[in-house]
Structure 1
Amino acid sequence: MSEAVLPDTTRTPDRPAGTPGADRPAVLSALAAAGIPADASPRRRAEYSFDASNYRIPPLAVVFPQSVEDVVAAVQACRATGTPLIGRGGGTSMAGNAIGPGVVLDFSRYLNRIHRVDEAAGTVSVEPGVVLAALSAEVERATDGRFTYAPDPSSKNRATVGGALGNDACGNHSVRYGRTSDHVEEIDVVTSDGARLTADAEGLRATDPEDTAAALRAAQLTAELKELAHANLAGFRTELGRIQRQVSGYHLANLLPEKGFNVARALVGSEGTCAVIVGARMKLVPKPASALLVCIGYQDVVEASRDIGTILEFSPSAVEGIDEAIVDTMRFRRGDGSVQGLPEGRAWLYVDLDGDDPDEVAAEAERLLARLRENGRMMDGRPVPDPVERASLWRVREVGAGLSSRLSTGGESWPGWEDSAVAPGKLPEYLADFRDLLAKHSLTGVMYGHLGAGCMHIRITYDLRSDAGRAVFRTFSREAAELVVRHGGSLSGEHGDGRARSELLPIMYSAAMLRAFSDYRRIWDPAGILNPGSLTEPDPLDGHLALAGVPERAWRTSFDLRPIGAGGSASAETDDPSDESAAGSNPWVHAVQGCIGVGKCRSDTAGVMCPSYRATRDEKDSTRGRARVLQDMVRGARSIEEGWRSEEVREVLDLCLSCKACSSDCPTGTDMATYKSEFFDHYYRGRRRPLSHYSLGWLPRWLKLTGRIAPLVNAALATPLGKLAAAAGGMTTKRALPKFAGASEWRKQVAAAGLQPGEHDGGARHRADRTSGVVLFVDTFTRGFRPEVAGAAARVLAGAGQPVECSADGCCGLTWISTGQLDTAKKLLRGAAEALDDGTDRPIVVVEPSCAAALRKDLPELVHTEQARRVAARVRSFAAHVGELAAGGWKPAPAEPLPEQVVLQTHCHEYAVFGAATQRQALAAVGIEGVTDATGCCGVAGNFGFEKQHYDVSMQVAEHALAPALRGSGPVVPVLTDGFSCAMQVNQLAPDRPGRHLAQLLDPGPDQTTEKQTTDQKDSPA
């Protein structure tokens, strides 16, 4: 352990990168003169003020380079004006590596192409903005599954190659495949003086052989780097590369003669402080023919770590670990079915074994389990051959960072000391001592990570909102650094040092090594403009904290936004949800600060979130981008200073479809649809709203009128008058309008099923038998547009053999909620709660899934009464109830044979509130196994897809999943669309294939229903 003192972090006049008042007009003028568009708007700067760390630093501007020439021009403009330059990929850096006070270059938007997969050479040529998961998929496609790209961090579906090179990212299979630096062949860079160079395993050269100036710069750099290595041979050999996961500091051991003077590997992990990466050739690895997950349960993570040595004897490709806090949170947020196949335990290891012969791999798994039983620490263990269970378990591990930040208990944890590493053999003792250190400071650590490589991800319950809590954060970080160094470890084992750990490097390295780091950086970047604040001359680890400096202010809200564990909607007893909550902040502040920047909303794969980002590829249209602007709003930052009246916030929320997918897909549970509704309610008070807020937002009111004259209205809409009416209401004229149903049509449909609509008390039928059965709630959309679905749903429920009571008295207020007209929404929801609260616990089955979701989730969050909570707890979507019926032994008897295949478009609100698999499980339960799941938002999302200004984006969203699913399925395959919005989009995309409700597939028909009811009456004791 070094005795060096911490460096002086005071800014010096010759280091313009550190001055907060850099000359924005000068650099913007220089960029404009070079033809480089730069966005310096308050909204854009807010979006890029954060990454996935604890820090916030507003940039001067953001540039989206479209070519290497753009990068060169941007670098030259920044150098000429002394402006800091920060490279950024997916923005998932957890140590503050991807933010800074100057110009941010976002490579992910345009410089994201895969140029060539060269199987013979075993390399792939890529641009820095390529997402890692896309890279692996393309390599496997191009080589017919023979090869893949190995590094697979948990953020692989949004993290980029450039970011992985910057941080030397690893991943779940690093036990086998190591770090990103182990897979680099060549790196193309632009230096801070504009030279285009290529670093490889033997040195540096000009990227363009005919560029003589670059060749001279390469020769100069080569000479200086060799001189640096020669002057530090002993230190490089003894202080660097001691353990597998020694990521802290620069990787200068690669410059040693015995390493071949590998400049490319020495650049990996430099966190953008030496040069700007503009391209790379990365190595491929063979893909195993067979792999098997073995899941092993333990009493705790420390006990699990004691078996690592035994497990490594079996040459696994992955040894990952999680604790029960993450599992509990996953189940709490996404249901018990979200975690399948875990053996008994309170902490678990995931061990991947692989090979050419699946039988041999399975036998090896049994030998491993036998050895672990002999060790006596394993509580339970099992192989997991089922691919569904395997995917479910890995999903828990991959969203661990987000899940551990917002726990099921209502607590929150933060990074800062989240990826220290030791040699695997020293892990048990290190973790035991680390737990003692946590206890000393009254902190809790949620543990998960790469146990097989000795690298632990530990998110800790710091209080970063108070001065006292931030003081504990600083003290604990220093003591944690001293602890890991005592165990021979590294401050960082994967995420880099950034602003979180650079200040602590003197604890790990000698003064001579720190000087070598500074010399290395200066050789590359003598102007000192590249990513200041990290590694050398670091910012204080408790400086620029995002939660510091947020003013105390009462942000009064209609929604109850308190965390569940702090008395939120599940247990609130007050009508004032704006009361101060746990965690020391107003509930609105706490809610919008829930996003920690993990960036899962930027993923193209898995889940539904975020449909607008998938359409536009713009950070402002991601859930994270919106949350970051809201976070600046509550800070009262100069960039977003108008609060509820902020035009920047309105703009960033404009393309939010209010699909609610983020509330379940986001690991932190960020619910942007709710935040949008709340903000719009305040923003438009006393202002004229968009026309669509009156036409579509007030739709249930208009339906009362159109229901009386439906034939006349439909006839008029079929003429050019229809387009005029749509335009007058702020709606697009490109989308076909639905036909309106007569006011009494739904009553006829329900009556045909043998039921009578109820009165204001929720229905008079079956009063004597109200302790059993179900209540069928026929919502406004079904009554106004799809009354035939009400009849089908009534017949299905009646055919299930239980009393069915029909209610249509009430409205969920969904259209008012989505447009932010919350006074009306609350009034309607109170009325619905009164109508449906009948003193029983009978399930309330709602035909339209979006209305079911509103009654289940929005009702108790907007109406803060026991009555509202009682009713909400009883609400089911139709598909959810079908699943429950089937689980109880019921089998449908449809009038028409069930189809063997269906295209499934699950409504986003049902997906978010009742579970992602609700529809699939219902289909499987009734015997429909062939499902083409169009996982993704349909694009209509209530009023969004009907609004003139949103139509084009609506159709782009449909192209992500629904439109391809329709094109890829046969014309006779039914399209299942329980949601009315989804049905409207299907009608737009494929007019000859109308969407059908699950009730229509299962409809026994009038004759069968009548016969069933007659039989029930004969068998009744009455």
Structure 2
Amino acid sequence: METYHGPVSEVRDLTSVLSQELAKAGVPVDASRRRRSEYSYDASNYRVEPLAVAFPRTVDDVVAAVAACRAAGTSVVARGGGTSMAGNAIGPGLVLDFSRHMNHVLALNEENRTVDVEPGVILATLSREVENATGSRCTFAPDPSSKNRATVGGAIGNDACGNHSVRYGRTSDHVSEIDLVTSDGARLTATETGLRATDLTDSYSIARAEALSASLAKVAQENLSTFRLEFGCIPRQVSGYHLENLLPEKKFNIARAVVGSEGTWAIVVGARMKLVPKPAAALLVCLGYEDVVDAARDIPTILEFSPAAVEGTDEAIVDTMRRRRGPDSVLGLPEGRAWLFVDLDGDDLESVRAQADQLLTQLAGNGRLVQGRAAADPAERASLWRVREDGAGLSSRLASGGESWPGWEDSAVAPERLADYLADLRELLAEYNLTGVMYGHFGAGCMHVRITYDLRSEEGRKVFRTFTKQAAELVVRHGGSLSGEHGDGRARSELLPLMYSPEVMAAFSECRSLWDPLGILNPGSMTDPDPMDAHLALEGIPNREWRTSFDLRPVGSSGTDPWVHAVQGCIGVGRCRADSGGVMCPSYKATRDEKDSTRGRARVLQDMVRGARTVEEGWKSEEVREVLDLCLACKACSTDCPAGVDMATYKSEFFDHYYRGRLRPRAHFSLGWLPRWLKLTGRISGLVNAVLATPLGKVAAVAGGLTTKRALPRFAGAGDWRREVVAAGALAAGLADADDSVVLFVDTFTRGFRPEVAGAAARVLVDAGQSVECSADACCGLTWISTGQLGTAKRLLSKAAEALDDGTERPIVVVEPSCAAALRKDLPELVHTEQAKRVAARVRSFAVYIAEQVAEGWTPSPAKPVPEEAVLQTHCHEYSVFGSGSQKKTLEAAGVASVVDANGCCGVAGNFGFEANHYAVSMQVAENALAPALRATGDSTVVLTDGFSCARQVNQLDPTRLGLHLAQVLDPGTATRSSFSTNDQRIKETEELS
């Protein structure tokens, strides 16, 4: 059947047959090379290229797709969020992505505490909708760390658990009924007491249900003692099929038996899930220990207090979080080198607090606790949980260097045996000179351990195989399970005979063939598996040199080409597909298409460097250009992605190579060369503004590849910014006291479009007690970087470094956050000199520097009364390079009572939103956060937009409102065209232009 391993011509023929069959049935399918690359990976170590990808909208589409696969003689793989670490969401035939369309909550029955869902609904979305509908009386309990992108269908597939499994168990504990489509086209519903036809008028499905039920009952009857002895031994025994649920005492619960079958029995097309009451009060207790073994030894004591969750992590993950996202990214962590997060809940907070105090006292008596504390502050609680939830990505590329991989990341033992198991596992790791980064569900005895395998070399892959086999033998000796949550997939299915008897393995094979007699569902997993070291994604990467402008060398030497190492940073955890939290990935949030996610782009780049192409063809890849087209280069992924994928940098590097010798888009000249044009427009700004106000303005926009739907900004005169800063009391370059001054860098955008902001910034700095020296004789090269014109960018940045390297350590305060980010991050990555590093280290965004002054005791004294409420639109580059808390802290210090945080990209992102072919998407992106925030607040609410592009989007969304820079809000003076007094004037000017 597996014709996908044949010659390319046969694969093409099979793809053509499959596409034709699906087209007849009216099922949307994509067999493009780019799409197949996106779906060749999940979050595991494996890569298997499918023939095509389909996006079913209805159950009928699924039935038709399965029929097409039967006709073409190929396999079917069901996929949700694609976050499987075991390789059970990839396969060689047709991939059915349920997350795109079949993702709705259908009906809620609060009285029966059940909810009907489609398989592609995201777990966090389900919980949120249930809580909203029931007034937080009920919720959906399973909450794996990937809950904001993992789907119900995926959770059913691998019996996902989550952080609160100590209280709520596994997904199988929350299933009432599951609607299924079998490989032979039957539509069946698995219930808690049997199996029936979904449609009671469907004679074929009725007969199929009766025959299958009888056969499954026979398997159970023939294996009564075996099933009773080998299944259900520990809370997290997820490996293998859950055949104990076929036993008479389990009431022939086929719904629970289907859970964990990883798509090898049937395809989930719907489910009725059980809900649980939501506790009235909860408190997180954080416990610090010397190491994870000490932490594990206290688990029996902690479990006596009936916690809802007991999660853990080690210092390597925490250190990486702090280095990548700043010291404020981890709040409220007690002393220690390993930590447990214990969630206690109850009917009232007072009793929960008392319980927490008692727990801390008892643990102190045990003698292992270094320090413990209750995290009552919601911000601390959210910060601590995020450390745990991002564990997989953070541990993949630690701040200290090196890489770690899954494969043995999901073993489980009884909680009381966890400490002994971890101690033995560490000894085994040491034997192979491997390091295991440990985190996981300590309270359930389930450990997630990412290990520093070398999967790139043949010797390293041998170590991977032999170590994993010995680790499997070790966990079995401790009475444990190969998998406690992620399933077996391609990673562990080969090892199942180490855990189960031949009788159980025979029962597995028989049950699978009963459900799927054609053998076309998710081949390579569970029974008759592929070898655990087959189809490894890092095997067979050509050893080539990819020359880049950016310095992409990793911390520590990996022995891998820096470009290859960089683009392989994505491990597929899919946080870029999250339905909430963070800023990335704005384009995916707008389109919900995998190609527009950071992960989708990274996967196509990974195929670019592994392919049979030459280097030149790789840099000229149309598939890569296409997948990068809607990347806004917002840089948010460099912070939000737990693995630190920086797609903005990769896009810039790729475009620099792709367009060599090719005609660039017109916008790369009109916007990419903007600083050059501003030198000209500054001299004749009156004439330019007058022309742009006529119909010729639209002609000029079209000629430059710009949209005519967006109002062009008004150009400032060449000397306007200088008059502003001089009036503010700033000194010329070289006149300030070097020991008691800051350098105010007035960037191109501020000089060319918002000179009044330069004056306001200077006045605020003077008010803060600073001597201010202005610098405006350099360019950060941002527009050339974002359009991939890196030769020019490097020359401009080199000149900027020379101009700003004055032999002092004075802070360089940059008005425009995107320019600050370019000088801080891109400068040392593109200009490989000590001078560049010195200058970059001194750079601060205006918001960051002012927040530092506030922290040191300065209180802002704006001339105008501060507003009661403000909408805060943090520029993406500020967010990614400097963090997102500075502006809010300063506003609160200034007396702003309420700050509405529009946490997301505005949609303009420099040149992106001005380009004609991107305007529609830019407005869709605005609907992620900014547009709703504007609609939810009144016209009098101040909108804070330090970024010029953000300010333009605010005015585009609501012409009656103008985005202000933080300096304008804090402005202590009243110089010309500054602070709030110019609002009406500037709005009127903008309206006249448009």
**TM-score past 0.5 threshold:** yes
Q: Which residue of 2 aligns with 1:733?
A: 708
> In the superposition, relative to structure 1, how do residues 551 and 274 fare at CA in structure 2: closer, same or farther (>3 Å)?
same
Which of the numbers 594, 602, 607 marks the counterpart of 1:627? 602
What's the C-alpha RMSD, in Å, of the aligned pairs?
Answer: 1.5
Per-residue deviation, residues 809-861 of structure 1 (Å, max 9, x unmatched): 10000000000000000000001100000000000000000000000000000
Q: SS of 2:29's equivalent?
A: coil
Which of the numbers 852, 875, 881 marks the counterpart of 2:843? 875
Q: Which residue of 2 aligns with 1:9?
A: none
Counterpart contact for 2:861–2:894, Cα < 8 Å: no
Q: Which residue of 1 aligns with 2:986?
A: none
One-letter identity of the residue aligned with 1:68: V
Task: Give the drift of 1:625.
Answer: 0.1
One-letter identity of the residue aligned with 2:735: R
Q: Which residue of 1 aligns with 2:66?
A: 75
Counterpart contact for 1:880–1:922, Cα < 8 Å: no
Counterpart contact for 2:860–2:893, Cα < 8 Å: no
Q: Which residue of 1 aligns with 2:983?
A: none
1:764 equivalent to 2:734? Answer: yes
Q: Which residue of 2 aligns with 1:655?
A: 630
Which of the numbers 686, 696, 699 marks the counterpart of 1:724? 699
Cα distance between partner residues in 2 of 1:305 and 1:640:
49
Q: Which residue of 1 aligns with 2:802?
A: 834
1:329 equivalent to 2:320? Answer: yes
One-letter identity of the residue aligned with 1:43: R
Task: Give the drift of 1:17.
Answer: 7.9
Cα distance between partner residues in 1 of 2:295 and 2:912:
49
Q: SS of 1:584's equivalent?
A: coil
1:821 equivalent to 2:789? Answer: yes
Per-residue deviation, residues 785-827 of structure 1 (Å, max 9, x unmatched): 0000000001111121121100001000000000000000000
Which of the numbers 537, 549, 563 marks the counterpart of 1:588? 563
How do 1:296-335 residues align onto structure 2 when only pairs under 5 Å count?
A: 296-335=287-326
Q: Which residue of 2 aligns with 1:266?
A: 257
Cα distance between partner residues in 2 of 1:917 and 1:257:
58
Counterpart contact for 1:92–1:597, Cα < 8 Å: yes
Cα distance between partner residues in 1 of 2:708 and 2:974:
38
Q: Which residue of 2 aligns with 1:903?
A: 871
Cα distance between partner residues in 1 of 2:740 and 2:478:
63
Counterpart contact for 1:46–1:639, Cα < 8 Å: no
How do 1:540-551 residues align onto structure 2 when only pairs under 5 Å count?
A: 540-551=531-542
Q: How many residues align?
A: 974
Q: Which residue of 2 aligns with 1:941?
A: 909
Q: Which residue of 1 aligns with 2:643?
A: 668
One-letter identity of the residue aligned with 1:673: A
Q: Which residue of 2 aligns with 1:152?
A: 143
Q: Which residue of 1 aligns with 2:992?
A: none
Q: Which residue of 2 aligns with 1:613?
A: 588
TM-score when scaled to structure 2?
0.97
> In the superposition, relative to structure 1, how do residues 595 and 637 fare at CA in structure 2: closer, same or farther (>3 Å)?
farther
Counterpart contact for 1:633–1:641, Cα < 8 Å: no
Q: Which residue of 1 aligns with 2:718?
A: 743
The percentage of aligned residue pairs carrying the same residue is: 73
Per-residue deviation, residues 589-615 of structure 1 (Å, max 9, x unmatched): 000000000000001210100000000
Q: SS of 1:642's equivalent?
A: helix
Counterpart contact for 1:465–1:584, Cα < 8 Å: no
Cα distance between partner residues in 1 of 2:814 and 2:794:
19
Q: Which residue of 2 aligns with 1:694?
A: 669
Cα distance between partner residues in 1 of 2:424 and 2:614:
44
Q: Which residue of 2 aligns with 1:371?
A: 362
1:465 equivalent to 2:456? Answer: yes
Q: SS of 2:680's equivalent?
A: helix
> In the superposition, relative to structure 1, how do residues 16 and 678 fare at CA in structure 2: closer, same or farther (>3 Å)?
closer
Q: Which residue of 2 aligns with 1:410?
A: 401
Q: Which residue of 1 aligns with 2:982?
A: none
> In the superposition, relative to structure 1, how do residues 496 and 863 fare at CA in structure 2: closer, same or farther (>3 Å)?
same
Cα distance between partner residues in 1 of 2:965 and 2:913:
20
Counterpart contact for 1:886–1:926, Cα < 8 Å: no
More divergent stretch after superposition (830-839 vs 21-30)? 21-30
Cα distance between partner residues in 1 of 2:621 and 2:573:
25
Cα distance between partner residues in 1 of 2:120 and 2:952:
36
Task: Give the drift of 1:764.
Answer: 2.1
Q: Which runs of 5+ in 2 are unaligned?
A: 979-994
Counterpart contact for 2:863–2:974, Cα < 8 Å: no
Counterpart contact for 2:730–2:771, Cα < 8 Å: no
One-letter identity of the residue aligned with 2:173: D
Cα distance between partner residues in 2 of 1:394 and 1:693:
42
Counterpart contact for 1:753–1:1006, Cα < 8 Å: no
Cα distance between partner residues in 2 of 1:604 and 1:278:
21
1:208 equivalent to 2:176? Answer: no
1:92 equivalent to 2:83? Answer: yes
Counterpart contact for 1:848–1:980, Cα < 8 Å: yes
Cα distance between partner residues in 2 of 1:83 and 1:24:
9
Counterpart contact for 1:940–1:982, Cα < 8 Å: yes
Task: Give the drift of 1:898.
Answer: 1.5
Cα distance between partner residues in 2 of 1:641 and 1:864:
25
1:985 equivalent to 2:960? Answer: no
Task: Give the drift of 1:918.
Answer: 2.7
Which of the numbers 791, 795, 819 marks the counterpart of 2:759? 791
Task: Give the drift of 1:919.
Answer: 2.2
Cα distance between partner residues in 1 of 2:51 and 2:894:
58
How do 1:846-925 residues align onto structure 2 when only pairs under 5 Å count?
A: 846-925=814-893
Q: Which residue of 1 aligns with 2:984?
A: none
Counterpart contact for 1:640–1:646, Cα < 8 Å: no
Q: Which residue of 2 aligns with 1:951?
A: 919
Q: SS of 1:449's equivalent?
A: strand
Cα distance between partner residues in 1 of 2:641 and 2:891:
26
Q: Which residue of 2 aligns with 1:684?
A: 659
Q: Which runs of 5+ in 1 are unaligned?
A: 1-13, 567-581, 1011-1022
One-letter identity of the residue aligned with 1:394: W
Q: Which residue of 2 aligns with 1:496?
A: 487
Per-residue deviation, residues 162-202 of structure 1 (Å, max 9, x unmatched): 00000100000000000000000000000001111100011
Q: SS of 1:404's equivalent?
A: helix
One-letter identity of the residue aligned with 1:764: G
Q: Which residue of 2 aligns with 1:238?
A: 229
Per-residue deviation, residues 861-900 of structure 1 (Å, max 9, x unmatched): 0000000000000000000000111111111111111222
Q: Which residue of 2 aligns with 1:1019?
A: none
Task: Give the drift of 1:640.
Answer: 11
Which of the numbers 556, 563, 578 marks the counterpart of 1:603? 578
One-letter identity of the residue aligned with 1:732: T
One-letter identity of the residue aligned with 1:357: D
How do 1:323-362 residues align onto structure 2 when only pairs under 5 Å count?
A: 323-362=314-353
Counterpart contact for 2:149–2:575, Cα < 8 Å: yes
Counterpart contact for 2:546–2:615, Cα < 8 Å: no
Per-residue deviation, residues 120-164 of structure 1 (Å, max 9, x unmatched): 111000000000000000000111110000000000000000000
Task: Give the drift of 1:204.
Answer: 0.7
Q: SS of 2:107's equivalent?
A: strand
One-letter identity of the residue aligned with 1:771: D
More divergent stretch after superposition (190-199 vs 20-29)? 20-29
More divergent stretch after superposition (700-709 vs 892-901)? 892-901
Which of the numbers 474, 482, 487 marks the counterpart of 1:483? 474
Per-residue deviation, residues 27-84 of structure 1 (Å, max 9, x unmatched): 1221122222211101000000000000000100000001100000000111122101
Q: SS of 1:583's equivalent?
A: coil
> In the superposition, relative to structure 1, how do residues 144 and 935 fare at CA in structure 2: closer, same or farther (>3 Å)?
same
Counterpart contact for 2:728–2:975, Cα < 8 Å: no
Q: Which residue of 2 aligns with 1:570?
A: none
Which of the numbers 53, 57, 63 marks the counterpart of 2:44? 53
Task: Give the drift of 1:357.
Answer: 1.5
**Which 4+ residue blocks in structure 1 deviate beyond 4 angstroms?**
14-22, 637-641
How do 1:390-469 residues align onto structure 2 when only pairs under 5 Å count?
A: 390-469=381-460
Task: Give the drift of 1:970.
Answer: 1.3
Cα distance between partner residues in 2 of 1:639 and 1:589:
14
Which of the numbers 161, 165, 178 marks the counterpart of 2:156? 165
Counterpart contact for 1:17–1:84, Cα < 8 Å: no
Q: SS of 1:292's equivalent?
A: strand
Task: Give the drift of 1:751.
Answer: 1.2
